[in-house]
């Protein structure tokens, strides 16, 4: 049987599977640029990062959601749920529309959270990042945090990343307005720092249940002789 230190070491050193949900469908959006940056640096943090396709999802409709057999739901919806369930963690790019998250992201969340087999997001560690005018997408992030309570997502609190995309920084623009790519080196470093913090946060979430299960198993083993001795009197 694997010991607790061996089980924890195995978790701590393995490559994490992380999926990304982008609230924008536009290829040249700042959030698409942020996700490309994450794709580039993820291997250095022992992560496999996959951006999930949201543009082919139908509008959420309970009539199209089979509450007894998930295999009868739209194929794109099944793929989304399965990818989320297989992942260790989820990253959300929070495009802000009208002080809230985009309809694209809300639609994906509705499909992912309702099915015959339950909520695909349940218990997952999550990270938020955003870019835009004003507060840098902060209001969308806070709305998503409210939604995350019902989804039972465990959202990392710090560090936060809310990028003011239209304010010049270090003598230039933060993003390339042509293709949405992240240009500013300081912001790139902040993205790198946030991703590393998220790896540590995710490992803590994964290690906790393993340690708890092992502690319970050891407690039962230690309690068994006591129960036998008690029964003998």
10-68: pLDDT as tens digits: 777 889 999 999 999 998 999 999 999 999 999 999 999 999 999 999 999 999 999 89
Residue 207: pLDDT band with limits 50, 70, 90: confident
CATH class given for the domain over 15-211: alpha beta
Is the predicted pLDDT of residue 114 greater than 70, yes or no? yes
Sequence-ordered strand ranges (E) for the chain: 16-22, 47-51, 89-93, 96-97, 100-101, 125-132, 154-155, 162-164
Sequence-ordered strand ranges (E) for 119-195: 125-132, 154-155, 162-164
75-94: pLDDT as tens digits: 999 999 999 999 999 999 99
Stated pTM of the model: 0.88
Cross-strand pairs, 127: 91
- Domains of the chain, by residue range, sit at 15-211
% of the chain exceeding 70 in pLDDT:
88
> What is the pLDDT at residue 9?
74
Mean of the per-residue pLDDT values of the chain: 91
Is the predicted pLDDT of residue 110 greater than 60, yes or no? yes
* Separation CA 154–CA 132 (nearest Å): 24
Distances (CA, A) of 165 to 56, 68, 161, 177, 193: 28, 45, 12, 10, 19
193-206: pLDDT as tens digits: 999 999 999 999 98
Q: What are phi and psi of 224, to 5 degrees?
A: -60, -50
Is the predicted pLDDT of residue 231 greater than 60, yes or no? no
Q: What is the mean pLDDT of residues 112-141?
A: 96
């Amino acid at each position: 049987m694997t010991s607790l230190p061996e089980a924890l070491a195995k978790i701590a050193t393995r490559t994490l599977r992380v999926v990304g949900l982008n609230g924008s469908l536009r290829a040249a959006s700042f959030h698409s640029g942020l996700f490309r940056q994450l794709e580039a640096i993820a291997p250095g943090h022992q992560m496999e990062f996959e951006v999930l396709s949201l543009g082919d999802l139908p509008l959420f409709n309970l009539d199209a959601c089979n509450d007894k057999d998930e295999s009868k739901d739209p194929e794109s919806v099944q793929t989304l749920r399965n990818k989320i369930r297989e992942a260790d963690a989820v990253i959300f790019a929070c495009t802000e529309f009208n002080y809230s998250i985009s309809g694209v992201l809300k639609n994906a969340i509705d499909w992912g959270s309702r099915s015959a087999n339950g909520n695909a997001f349940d218990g997952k560690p999550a990270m938020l990042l955003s870019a835009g005018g004003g507060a840098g997408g902060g209001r969308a992030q806070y709305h998503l945090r409210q939604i995350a309570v019902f989804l039972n997502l465990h959202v990392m609190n710090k560090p936060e990343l809310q990028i003011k995309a239209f304010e010049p920084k270090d003598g230039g623009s933060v993003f390339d307005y042509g293709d949405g790519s992240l240009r500013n080196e300081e912001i790139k470093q902040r993205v790198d720092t946030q991703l590393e913090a998220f790896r540590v946060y995710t490992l803590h979430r994964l290690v906790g249940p393993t340690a708890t299960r092992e502690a319970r198993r050891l407690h039962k083993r230690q309690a068994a002789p006591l129960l036998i001795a008690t029964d003998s009197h």
